[in-house]
Amino acid sequence: MNVNRQEALEYMRKMVLIRRFEERAEEAYGQGRIGGFLHLYIGEEAIAVGAMAAMKPDDDVVTHYRDHGYILARGVDPKVVMAELYGKTTGVSKGKGGSMHLAAVDRHIWGGYAIVAGHIPLAVGLALANQYRNLPRVVTCFFGDGATNNGTFYSALNMAAVWKLPLVAIVENNLYGMGTAVERASAVSDIFKKAASFEIPAVQTDGNDLLGVRDTVRTMVEMARAGEGPQLIEARTYRFRGHSMGDPQRYRGKDEVEAAKERDPIVLWRRSLLESRLATEDDFRKIAEEVEAEVETAVRFAESSPDPDPSELCANVLVPG
């Protein structure tokens, strides 16, 4: 495997961190401590961790609302991310964004966006700015299969192709958009084929295979950086939880979900590390303990942080005049 022990364990630590962070967030939501919407990424962790490992720290990231994984994979402190979910002043967006609007501009994470496909033009604009300013930065834009049925996907990628912008679109095809299976909403189930409309190079990859994701993203990001224009990756995966909290999931059977869990990205990574003797059960135990403590600290930090003062309600809120 093209990975050293230190990297291998770091990837594992980040995937386990995202998983445990979200399991605790799910619990807190159930207790009414977190409000608003909460879309869990459980089952898709290899994409965020693999992609971040493939990028440079100042490559820009624009994401959809299922966004906890990206910011944690970038290394932002789980404390301030959890505080944001709790709507506290100590959160990354001072508690005003919540789960769907995580941003850390100092880490080149430009935000999660809730309007499906509405962020793709923003990513294209950022890529245009980078090209215009001659910065060697690539923008990666993450979104779901459902977003590719929206007109904005076509208009934005068309402009990116015309201008040969340094953009990599990463489509997480988790087979559903809310309760609608991909083949019921999209004329093309192999999403990567849509990139042919713009003659954008595109590949389909296994989104649960961490190294596969990392190496595919690395290749596409470096092509974009070299001036070859936008690229598209379809990473096929599955979300183990509902679309958001409170989804009764009548659109799929429990057997389907259980079968998909056989390909849990954390389980697959663990297996390949044991088989290649890069890690031992002891290593995994240590990671689990450390992550548990880190997430516990994040929860305590969020719970003990102050709520925003009512006088803050209109601060930093822009209303077009």
Residues 6+ apart with CB under 8 A from 129: none
Structure tokens at 274: 């044991």
Tell me if residue 83 falls in helix, strand or coil: helix
In angstroms, give the least distance from the CB of 139 to ligand TPP.
19
Rule CB under 6 A: say whether 174 interacts with ligand TPP: yes
Member of 144, 166, 230, 242 binding Mg ion (CB under 5 A): 144
Nearest CA among 197, 170, 172 for reference residue 182: 172
Residue range at the interface with ligand TPP (CB under 6 A); choices 3-11, 162-170, 174-182, 208-216: 174-182
**Residue closer to Mg ion, measured from CB, 207 or 230:** 207
Residue range at the interface with Mg ion (CB under 5 A); choices 172-180, 197-205, 221-229, 274-282: 172-180
* Terminal-residue alpha carbon distance, the chain: 56
In angstroms, give the least distance from the CB of 238 to ligand TPP.
10
Residues 6+ apart with CB under 8 A from 155: 121
Distance of alpha carbon 33 from alpha carbon 272, whole angstroms = 38
In angstroms, give the least distance from the CB of 84 to ligand TPP.
19
Q: How many residues bind ligand TPP (CB under 6 A)?
A: 15
Nearest CA among 137, 282, 119 for reference residue 222: 137
Member of 48, 109, 147, 260 binding ligand TPP (CB under 6 A): 147
Rule CB under 6 A: say whether 201 interacts with ligand TPP: no
Distance of alpha carbon 83 from alpha carbon 199, whole angstroms = 42
Residue range at the interface with Mg ion (CB under 5 A); choices 5-13, 39-47, 168-176, 206-214: 168-176
Q: Compute the Cα dihedral for 160, 199, 135, 71 and give only its sign.
A: positive
Residue range at the interface with ligand TPP (CB under 6 A); choices 145-153, 219-227, 296-304, 309-317: 145-153
Helix, strand and coil content of the chain, in percent to the nearest 5, comes to 50, 10, 40
**Residue closer to Mg ion, measured from CB, 22 or 145:** 145
**Would you give the binding string for Mg ion spanning residues 145-164, x where CB under 5 A is met?**
x-------------------
Answer whether 218's CB lies under 8 Å from 54's CB.
yes
**Residue closer to Mg ion, measured from CB, 140 or 174:** 174
Distance of alpha carbon 118 from alpha carbon 143, whole angstroms = 10
Q: What, of ligand TPP, Mg ion, none, does residue 116 touch, CB below 5 to 8 Å by kind?
A: ligand TPP
Residue range at the interface with ligand TPP (CB under 6 A); choices 16-24, 86-94, 171-179, 303-311: 171-179
Rounded-to-10 torsion of CA 69, 76, 111, 321? 150
In angstroms, give the least distance from the CB of 261 to Mg ion.
17
* Residues 99-128 close enough to bind ligand TPP by CB under 6 A: 114-116
Nearest CA among 23, 101, 6, 20 for reference residue 62: 101
In angstroms, give the least distance from the CB of 194 to Mg ion.
14
Strand-strand pairing, 176-177 and 180-181 = antiparallel
Binding site for Mg ion (CB under 5 A): 144-145, 174, 177
Binding site for ligand TPP (CB under 6 A): 66, 114-116, 143-147, 172, 174, 176-178, 243
